Structure 1
Amino acid sequence: MKDRPTDIDETVLAATLGAWGIEPVTLAHAPVGFGDHHWVAAEAEGRRTFVTVADLAHKSHCGRDAAEAWTGLSRAMNTAATLESALGEAALVAPLRTGAGETLLRLTDRYAVSVFPYVDAPTGQFGQALAPGARRGLVERLAQLHSTQPPLTTPAHQPGLPGRPVIEEALTDPQRFRSDSGPYAQRCQALLTTNNAALRAALEQFDNGTTRLASDESTAAAVVTHGEPHAGNILDPGGRTLLVDWDTVALAPPERDLWLATDAPEDLSRYAELTGHHPDPDLLAYYELRWALDDVAAALDIFGARHPDTADTRQAWDGLVDAVTALTDRAAGAGPCRR
């Protein structure tokens, strides 16, 4: 997140890092990503670590509430740590374990802390097109991940849409976005009213895809998927392809990752060559559709409550407009949801 949170006590956060043997001299807020809060902790001898504070109240893919999200996020972090043991540090950046072997600690009832090695390399941006060589490297990394024995802690990807109730309520009553909630509420109301039919059609199409996924015996066996392998979750120090941000790791068909990694036929052929699995075009489209609906639900959750005008809410609004535009284009027959 770009906005520095006002309800996280950085003194308490610094003390919590002691469980990892970290005594930070400085704790600098890092305005990156969307969803979690980040800091860089620097110790006296110069060692740096990357600190992530997850908002359990907004982790619907990990659980329906903060208590369930804690369990789901713990399983995800433990999975990533185990995957590093299997794949090596050259494949991913995994959470560090505390002296007691934990990958996640509570900061408050709402927030949870994980710590990662600091890698001095730039990331890309969501929506950024990777160069052909980098894209091929990502596909090969995913083939390696998908061929790995799933750790016992790996969460199972749920075919339903966690934010479905938020979208349904918003479409049923756009007037619930009242102007006194914040600067984007009435814009949401207008956007939903104008695109109501297209969004309902997208939900119906998603339901049809979910039914097929649950019943189709030809669907590939579930593998360990990252969930969000876009340019913003890739580090490339020295020509390596390191996957970061593992809270969405789950057992699912390979297409859950592949639709976001590439749409180039030569890359999908390379994946089939490495794994023996030929990606299913219908499943690629299904997971692309799900992503757009997830974006809609996440933004409506923000704008349905009191909200300010900040860098984060501006980013959420832009994401909502992009997702709705992609869904309406799809409903109009203009092609898939790629943005």
Structure 2
Amino acid sequence: MRDEPGEISCDLVAGMLSEHWGFRVGEVVYAPVGSGSHHWIAAGVDGPRWFVTADRLDPSGSWMGSTAEQMKGTIESAVQAAKELADSGCEFVVAPLPDRTGHLVREVPAGWMLVVFPYLQGWSTSDGAWDDPAEREQIAGILGRLHAATPPRTLQRWDFAVPGRDVLLTALADLDRPWSSGPYAEPTRLRLSAALDYLRARLAHYDTLVREIEASDDPWVVTHGEPHSANVLRTNDGRMRLIDWDTVRLAPRERDLAAVLGGPTDVLPAYQAQAGPISPRTAALELFRVWWSLAEIATYVQLFRRPHTDSQDSRESWQDLTTYVPG
């Protein structure tokens, strides 16, 4: 997120790190990176640094169909699952650091969930594309190891629901009058109006794929959920480390494979070397690609149906929406 939240100051983050993690913090700066969550980099007075993430619990009681309590439980189970994976030998997992009482998540007074990670020197890409064939092959092998791992005890099960589908359907039924919730509300309405038949067809196509995959008896595995290039940190020791584990779920393996297969280089052998002689299902790969586009559309429609301003985050969200909804 590019826009720093007004509810959480750098001083508040420093205070939380001192009070609950026992860290001696010298400086905290906001890091305008990623999407969805807000981030800070904290430096200790004696050298170490930490990467701090905060997610807002929706004060209205729901966000994309989840209550605030459900959001809290989802975050807590996801970070615990990541910690268990790291402790079990999955060194490619960047796991959160427990506080002095063993908690991995702390709720700050304003209704935000705060998680602390070690700060690792490295770099990531600005988008999710796997353009480097060698890197695509390497991440395929990592996913093979992940999918062969024993599921953590706290791991939640993925379901086929498209987050925010009800929000999207409500919006599609309300295209006959202007929207006035902010500067991108009316452009969103016009965009959806022009693509109404396309969107209805995509929803119907997704439902057809769901029926096919639900009938399958293929085993579900531990999946990251978003193993795109921007969620991989290339550390200075030459390794790849997967970050952003809030989407970790027990799910069909194609949930991850949809992000890495299909490039000019066949990386399936690298995956199979770790996961076994597995052949991904074409219909399942298509299901997750369609799911992703519908979930992204619903997220941006939800955003622009609510009061919003012309911020940098809003502008980037609008550009993203236009990539998923044809003009």
- Where on the TM-score scale, by shorter chain, does this alignment land: which range? over 0.9
Hey, what does 2:262 align to over in structure 1? 263
Of 199-208 and 120-129, more deviation after overlay is shown by 120-129
> Structure 1: how far apart are the matches of 2:99 and 2:128?
34
Hey, what does 2:185 align to over in structure 1? 185
SS at match of 1:174: coil
> Structure 2: how far apart are the matches of 1:114 and 1:177?
40
Identity of aligned residues (%): 34
C-alpha contact 2:140 2:271 (8 A) present in aligned 1: yes
C-alpha contact 2:13 2:28 (8 A) present in aligned 1: no
Change (3 A) 1:214 1:232: same
C-alpha contact 1:177 1:304 (8 A) present in aligned 2: no
C-alpha contact 1:49 1:117 (8 A) present in aligned 2: yes
The alignment status of 1:57 with 2:58, answered yes or no, reads yes
The alignment status of 1:17 with 2:29, answered yes or no, reads no
The letter for the 2-side match of 1:32 is: V
The alignment status of 1:119 with 2:120, answered yes or no, reads yes
SS at match of 2:247: coil
> Structure 2: how far apart are the matches of 1:213 and 1:128?
26
C-alpha contact 1:139 1:261 (8 A) present in aligned 2: yes
Deviation at 1:174, TM superposition (A): 2.2
Deviation at 1:47, TM superposition (A): 1.1
Hey, what does 2:285 align to over in structure 1? 284
The letter for the 2-side match of 1:231 is: S
Deviation at 1:100, TM superposition (A): 1.2
C-alpha contact 2:90 2:146 (8 A) present in aligned 1: no
Hey, what does 1:8 align to over in structure 2? 8
After the TM superposition, which residues 1-339 of structure 1 pair with which residues of structure 2 at under 5 Å, given as runs?
1-18=1-18, 19-57=20-58, 64-89=66-91, 91-108=92-109, 110-175=111-176, 178-179=179-180, 181-217=181-217, 220-237=218-235, 238-264=237-263, 266-275=266-275, 276-325=277-326
SS at match of 1:29: strand
> Structure 2: how far apart are the matches of 1:20 and 1:221?
39
C-alpha contact 1:177 1:303 (8 A) present in aligned 2: no
The letter for the 1-side match of 2:292 is: W
Deviation at 1:109, TM superposition (A): 5.6
> Structure 2: how far apart are the matches of 1:116 and 1:201?
42
Aligned length: 321
C-alpha contact 2:11 2:28 (8 A) present in aligned 1: no
Change (3 A) 1:178 1:82: same
TM-score normalised per structure 1? 0.90
C-alpha contact 1:66 1:110 (8 A) present in aligned 2: no
Deviation at 1:212, TM superposition (A): 1.9
> Structure 1: how far apart are the matches of 2:128 and 2:149?
27
C-alpha contact 2:7 2:110 (8 A) present in aligned 1: no
The letter for the 1-side match of 2:83 is: A
SS at match of 2:84: helix
Deviation at 1:324, TM superposition (A): 1.5
Change (3 A) 1:109 1:157: farther
Deviation at 1:162, TM superposition (A): 2.0
C-alpha contact 1:26 1:41 (8 A) present in aligned 2: yes
Which contiguous aligned blocks of 4+ residues in structure 1 show a shift greater than 3 angstroms?
A: 58-61
Of 95-104 and 251-260, more deviation after overlay is shown by 95-104
> Structure 2: how far apart are the matches of 1:177 and 1:100?
52
Deviation at 1:193, TM superposition (A): 0.5
The letter for the 2-side match of 1:51 is: V
Deviation at 1:270, TM superposition (A): 3.1
> Structure 1: how far apart are the matches of 2:262 and 2:269?
11
Q: Which residues of structure 2 form unaligned runs of 5+?
A: none
Of 121-130 and 297-306, more deviation after overlay is shown by 121-130
Deviation at 1:178, TM superposition (A): 1.8
C-alpha contact 1:106 1:113 (8 A) present in aligned 2: yes
C-alpha contact 1:66 1:109 (8 A) present in aligned 2: no
> Structure 1: how far apart are the matches of 2:57 and 2:247?
13
The letter for the 2-side match of 1:87 is: G
C-alpha contact 1:40 1:48 (8 A) present in aligned 2: yes
C-alpha contact 2:148 2:274 (8 A) present in aligned 1: no
TM-score normalised per structure 2? 0.93
Higher relative contact order (CA 8 A, sep 6+): 2
Deviations 1:117-167 (A, max 9, x none): 101111112233330100100000000000000010011101111211111
Deviation at 1:60, TM superposition (A): 5.2
Higher normalized helix content (fraction of residues)? 1
Deviation at 1:87, TM superposition (A): 2.5
